[in-house]
Amino acid sequence: MVRLGAHVDSATVLIATTNRGKIREFGELLGNLPLTLTSLAEFPGAPVVPEDGATYAANATAKAVTIARWSDCVALADDSGLEVDALGGAPGVHSARYAGAEQDSRANVARLLEALAGVPSEKRTARFRCVIVVARPDGVTLTVEGSCEGWILEAPRGTSGFGYDPVFLDLPSGLSFAEMPAGMKNRLSHRARACMALAPRLVDFARVG
């Protein structure tokens, strides 16, 4: 079993995703804690939890609780989305499937840029939002969230990151999230900010479980 940030005699937290980008980021953001992090990439038989909730919190809670009970260990799940003001907050909770059920990042970005065609830069404001839920096998949960503000570019820039990162501009740095070094993104991103809120509480929560 591949372990991220493994520590001797530490509690295990199962990251409830097979998304390699998310697994890597959680490893970077939480790997310094006295925990052993693993992921569903190591559990091919895990149940698939439908992400059909009306909110990020509903989706993250469903994933975390289901996987915690199935695995009998503490499970961490997140649901994240891009909220574009000119589109009334869309794609929002539907971000991963904006262009279809295949969760094709390039298709999602293409649809987003098409929807924003002709919208001037000053009206392309947006934010990434992330809700993280950690669940113990007994059903007790811990919830945190984080967000970051930005603008949507007219064309993708950069080759790092995943999802909508190539078109999400951080105005102070002038970089898209896909142009940023990992360390920089891990200070600014919605997932980073949610993990900053989670880190002081996660170890004690996991050890009780």
Annotated catalytic residues are 79
DSSP secondary structure, the chain, as one string: ---BS--TTPEEEEE----HHHHHHHHHHHTTSSEEEEEGGG-TTPPPPP---SSHHHHHHHHHHHHHHHHTSEEEEEEEEEEEGGGTT-BGGGGGGTT-TT--HHHHHHHHHHHTTT--GGG-EEEEEEEEEEE-TTS-EEEEEEEEEEEE-SS---SSS-TTGGGEEETTTTEETTTS-HHHHHHHSHHHHHHHHHHHHHHHHHHH-
- Cβ contact 180:159 at 8 Å: no
